[in-house]
Amino acid sequence: MPSSSAASWAQAGGANAACKPACKPAGCAQHAKLVDMKLLVKWLLSASALLCVAYLYHGVVVASMGSALIAALVIGLLNMSLRPVLVLLTLPVTLVTLGLFLFVINALMFWAASGILDGFYVRDFAAALLGSLMYSALGMLIDSALQ
């Protein structure tokens, strides 16, 4: 799902990890602002991708841009906090299915976000599976465009 770049940035130590010891403080602050701007653009594009999924597939409904922004944030937070635990707990099943069970975990995160929020609705698990696949594909396009 689309929030892996935010998690990797946080794990790497944020903006300070990219600054060399010889880096001037103004350069580090400028780098931090650039990273923050990139994160904001990724969030806005992820919300737009969620609106696109809702437009293309009738099993996913997003009420407004505000709902899409909140849903993109919640999906990102679920993927950052709950998804690694689920991946670890379901590792045997994931290995037996040659990684295909990860699609089920993505769908569960997508469906869980719709259960938490008003203004973001996913019809059933099949809709969550297809919607999360579309959202992930758009997220990969967003990530590659922001590189």
pTM: 0.78
pLDDT in tens, 108-140: 999 999 999 999 999 999 999 999 999 999 999
Which run of H or E residues covers position 112? helix 101-116
Q: Measured at the alpha carbon of residue 4, what is the angle toward residues 133 and 76, in degrees to the nearest 5?
A: 70
Q: Which residues of 51-77 are buried (b: 16+ CB within 10 A; e: fewer)?
A: bbbbeebebbebeeeebbbbbbbbbbb
Q: What is the pLDDT of residue 26?
A: 59
Q: What is the C-alpha separation between 23 and 63, in angstroms, rounded?
A: 46
**Domain ranges in the chain?**
4-146
Most distant CA pair in the chain: distance in Å?
Answer: 54
Residue type, 19: C
Q: What is the pLDDT of residue 111?
A: 96
pLDDT in tens, 20-65: 555 555 568 787 888 888 999 999 999 999 999 999 999 999 999 9
Q: What is the pLDDT of residue 62?
A: 97
pLDDT in tens, 100-109: 999 999 999 9
Which residues partner with 61 through β-bridges?
121
